[in-house]
Amino acid sequence: MATRHHDLTDPAAAETAGPVTGEALAGYLRAQATEFLRALRLHRETGGPGAGAEGSVAAARALRRSARRITGSLHTYRPLLDADWSEEIRPELAWLSGTLAMEHAYEARLERLLTALQRLSGATTTPTEPLTGTTAARAGTTPKSRKTHPTRTTLIPPGAPAPATAPASATAPASATASASTAAPAPAPSPPPSTGTGTSTGTGPHPTAPPDRGNLTVGAAKAGALLERQLTLARTRAHSTALQALGSSRFHAVADKVALLASEVPLTAGAAGTDLRPLAAAAEERLSDAVAALPLVTAGHPYNAEALVHGLSPDPAPHPQDAPWHQVRLLLRLHRYAREVLHAGTEPVEVRLLQAGQALDRHRDASEAAAAAAQAARTPRIAPATAYALGVLHADQRHEVEAARYAFQRCWQKDRQERVPTS
C-alpha cells in the first residue's frame, strides 16, 4: 500500500514542474523508433527466417512493444503530427504488431487451457491409476515442460506409437486424435473393433478398464490433446505469417519509415511548443467515459453468473458483453502510453494502472480461451468425454472472465475512492 500511495503522489509532483511540450513527444517517438530498430537488428541476428530461438522471441516482443507505443502516441497526440504521414504509418505499425502478436497469443492460450485442465482434474494423479498411458501423457504437461516450449510438448503426439508397456487403453487417445484429424469414422460402439482401441474412448463399455472410472480423465487428456493440436496448428500458421511479414516489402517500407522517425519526427508547425497535457487528459477522459459505461456494479457482486449467460448459446461468438471491456483495455493502454510521453520515463508506472491492465489482459485471455474451448467442442466426431471436458473448461474460463471483471472493478473503485479528495 505504501508503494502504491507513493506512485499515486508522484505524477502530481511531476505535473507541477511545468508544461510538457511537443518536444517531449518528439523525444519519446525518437526513442521508441530507436528501440524498434534495435529490436529489428536483434531479430535479424538471432532468429532470421529459421525457427524462433529465445532471442528471436524477445526481439519480436520488443518490436511489438515499441510499435504499440508509436501507434498509441500517434493516436493520442495526432494534432501535433503531420496528418498524412501519421495516417500512413499508423495502420502499417498496427498491422505489424498485430501480426507479430498472434503466435504468442496462441501459445499463451494453449498454456492457459492446459493449465486449467490440470487444475480441473484435481492435479494429484496416483501412480497406481490404471490408465498409465494417459497419466504419463498428462504428466508431460507439468510446469517443467511448460517452462521450455509448452506448445511443442505434444500431450499425445498424433500417430506416435504407444509405449510398449502401456495397456491397450493407452492407445485410445492417440487413435482418437488421429481419427479426428483424418476424419475417419468414429469407433462404432457395437460390435467393438477387433483392435480393441475403440472401446476405451469413453463412449462404449470398458471390458478391461474399470467401468466409469477414468472416463473423464481420459476426456480431459483428449480435450488437452485436441486443443494442443488445434492451437499448435494455429500457432505454426501464425509463425509462418509473421516470418512472411518480416520478409515482405510491406515490412521493409515500415522499417524505413521508422528509421526516418528515429532521426526526424514530423511535428506540425508550432507543435514543439504546444502543451501535451490537454491531449493526454482527453485520452484519460475517453478511458473514464468507457469505464463509466461498464456494468461495474454487477461486476462488483461476485458470482453474478453474467459471464456465462450465453455459455450454451448457438452463436459461436455469443459474448458481445465482452467487447466494452476489451475496448477499455485498449483505452487504458493508450492512457498509459500518453503518460509515458508526459513523464519521459522519469517515474515508474503507476501500480493501479498496471493492476487494472493486468485484470483486463486476463479478461481478454480468458474470453478467448473460452471461445477456443467452445470451438474445439464443435470438432466433428469427438468423444462425449472430450466434449464434456471442453464444456467444463469453457465454463471455467468464462468464470475467469467474471473474476477478471471483479478484480478490475475492485482495483478501479478503490482507486477512485482514494483519489476523490485530491482531484
By beta-carbon proximity to its own copies, the closer residue of 91 and 210 is 210
Q: Which stretch binds its own copies (CB under 8 A): 11-19, 51-59, 91-99, 207-215?
A: 207-215
| Minimum separation from the CB atom of position 128 to its own copies (A) | 12
Interface residue with its own copies among 37, 42, 94, 120 (CB under 8 A) is 120
- For its own copies, give the closer residue by CB, 226 or 287: 226
- Interacting residue with its own copies among 83, 253, 309, 317 (CB under 8 A): 309
For its own copies, the binding residue among 390, 408, 409, 412 (CB under 8 A) is 390
Is 127 a binding residue for its own copies by CB under 8 A? The answer is: no
The one segment of 47-55, 139-147, 271-279, 390-398 that binds its own copies by CB under 8 A = 390-398
Given the rule CB under 8 A, which of 41-49, 81-89, 234-242, 395-403 is the region that contacts its own copies?
395-403
Q: Which grid coordinates are listed for 17?
A: 514542474
Stretch that binds its own copies, among 16-24, 63-71, 203-211, 270-278 (CB under 8 A): 203-211
Region binding its own copies by CB under 8 A among candidate stretches 92-100, 277-285, 341-349, 394-402: 394-402
- Binding residue for its own copies, selected from 72, 393, 408, 412, defined by CB under 8 A: 393
381 binds its own copies (CB under 8 A): yes
Residues in 84-113 at the binding interface with its own copies, rule: CB under 8 A: none
Q: How many residues contact its own copies, by CB under 8 A?
A: 63
Please say which residue, 178 or 344, places its beta carbon nearer to its own copies: 178
CB-wise, 150 or 214, nearer to its own copies?
A: 214
> Measured between alpha carbons, how far is 106 from 230 in angstroms, rounded to an integer?
10
Would you count residue 219 as binding its own copies (CB under 8 A)?
A: yes
| Out of 326, 388, 413, 418, the residue judged to bind its own copies by CB under 8 A | 388
Residue 132 makes CB contacts below 8 A (sequence gap 6+) with: 165, 166, 167, 170
215 touches its own copies by CB under 8 A:
yes
192 binds its own copies (CB under 8 A): no
The residue from 48, 98, 266, 311 that contacts its own copies (CB under 8 A) is 311
Residues 355-374 that bind its own copies (CB under 8 A): 374
